Amino acid sequence: MLTSLELANHFGFKIINGDFNALSRPVLVAELDRPGLELMGLFQYHEKDRIILIGNKEMALINSTDPDTIYKNCLKIFSDECPAVVITHDNPCPDCVMTAAREKNVPLFSCSQDTSELSSLMYIYLSEALAPRTAMHACLLEIYGIGVLLMGESGIGKSEISLELIRKGHRLVADDRVDIADVRGKLIGTCPETIYGMMEVRGIGIINVSRMFGINSLTKRSHINLIINLVPFKKDEPMERIGMKTNHYDILNESIPLIKLPVSAARSMAEIIETAVTNYKLKDDGYDTGYEFQKRLLEIQEKRQEEKRRKEEYAKMSSVAGNKLVKEK
């Protein structure tokens, strides 16, 4: 749970009001509120659980309005559900606002940032901090700019295949465990701090990826665009042959394209995964090789049927012409 104090520490806000209980208030939503209407006494659309930003416009309104009116309206704005109030541009806090904040024991912060810039930064931060989360036993890499989650049972070779992909110039996000957040309908994967930049290679132990392959071999986060499930190769098990069917896997109620790849000693899995990612990018750009193959088959079939029809018509016409000559004789 994110608290007002954690928010203040993250952005470096100066705390000008609020005791321990106040600073422990939970932040529950990412949306922010600039209370122009509320300062004038209009509360019809007021959202009580939002962080309040007071910028230059709000401060001009406060300074041009009767202090008693502002004080009374602030008592309503500073509800028990209000996580915090932030005054921007290093503006001094008016006495009527401070009195109301102390009376309601609401966290009151001050900062030097521009209001619009801070609003954008806070919304991005809160959207991620408050996003639904889960963790998965998997590896996450960025391959050709696509976030690829490698899944598979323990011992299937996820780390070894990831290592080969890193050697080919792709970037590691996380090995063994991936923390996943659903941020505004997009899955973002990160690595736990304790294992960032590390990999476990069976028979060798823990290796430092950036020391071995350079700092560009790592990235701290990536969208999850594609899931590749590594499974043991079984000769008699049916597998996708043409690629017409697209499977999906649900994570945090988000549906992600899934490709199942059989693993065997004779297959170069890193190159196969690169091929799978390239094919995914082509599909995403509107080119579907499976559809193109099916279209080509249909065109060839139609061409053969047309040739057959023409031969039958020619044979029929030849037969009619032959019969006509016989009759004339």
Distance CA 190, CA 261 (A): 24
Distance CA 177, CA 43 (A): 46
Q: What pLDDT sits at residue 284?
A: 83
Q: Give per-residue pLDDT as tens, 201-252.
A: 888 889 999 999 999 999 999 999 999 999 988 777 666 665 667 889 999 9
- Which helix (H) or strand (E) covers residue 149, if one does? strand 146-152
Instruction: Specify the higher pLDDT residue, 245 or 279.
Output: 279
Cβ atoms of 134 and 163 closer than 8 Å: no
Whether the per-residue pLDDT at 183 is higher than 60: the answer is yes
Q: 133-284 sits in which CATH class?
A: alpha beta
pLDDT band for 92, please (50, 70, 90 cuts). very high
Q: What pLDDT sits at residue 11?
A: 96
pLDDT band for 191, please (50, 70, 90 cuts). very high
Whether the per-residue pLDDT at 319 is higher than 80: the answer is no
Active site residues: 137, 158, 176, 241
Compute the mean pLDDT over every residue in the chain, rounded to the nearest whole number.
90
Q: What pLDDT sits at residue 291?
A: 72
Domain ranges of the chain: 4-129, 133-284, 291-329
Q: Quick one: average pLDDT of 27-49? A: 93
Q: What pLDDT sits at residue 326?
A: 57
Sign of the Cα torsion 115, 37, 62, 77 reads negative
Whether the per-residue pLDDT at 116 is higher than 90: the answer is yes
Q: Quick one: average pLDDT of 93-116? A: 95
Q: Quick one: average pLDDT of 165-186? A: 94
Lowest mean pLDDT among 104-118, 263-277, 312-326: 312-326
Q: What pLDDT sits at residue 328?
A: 60
Q: Which of 180, 163, 276 is nearest to 222 (CA)?
A: 180
Q: What pLDDT sits at residue 203?
A: 84
Distance CA 120, CA 114 (A): 10
Q: What pLDDT sits at residue 239?
A: 65
Instruction: Specify the higher pLDDT residue, 63 or 233.
Output: 63
Whether the per-residue pLDDT at 97 is higher than 90: the answer is yes
pTM, 2 dp: 0.76
Whether the per-residue pLDDT at 117 is higher than 70: the answer is yes
* Residues sharing a CB contact under 8 Å with residue 290, sequence separation 6 or more, in sequence order: 242, 243, 244
Question: Cβ–Cβ contacts within 10 Å for residue 75, how many?
Answer: 15
* Residues sharing a CB contact under 8 Å with residue 328, sequence separation 6 or more, in sequence order: none
Superfamily of structural domain 4-129? HprK N-terminal domain-like (3.40.1390.20)
Lowest mean pLDDT among 10-14, 20-24, 239-243: 239-243
Whether the per-residue pLDDT at 272 is higher than 60: the answer is yes
AA identity, residue 61 = L
Q: What pLDDT sits at residue 283?
A: 86
Q: What pLDDT sits at residue 250?
A: 96
Q: Quick one: average pLDDT of 105-127? A: 95
Distance CA 228, CA 21 (A): 47
Q: Quick one: average pLDDT of 90-115? A: 95
Share of the chain above pLDDT 90, in %: 72
Q: Quick one: average pLDDT of 31-51? A: 93
Lowest mean pLDDT among 18-32, 36-50, 91-105, 309-323: 309-323
Q: What pLDDT sits at residue 135?
A: 96
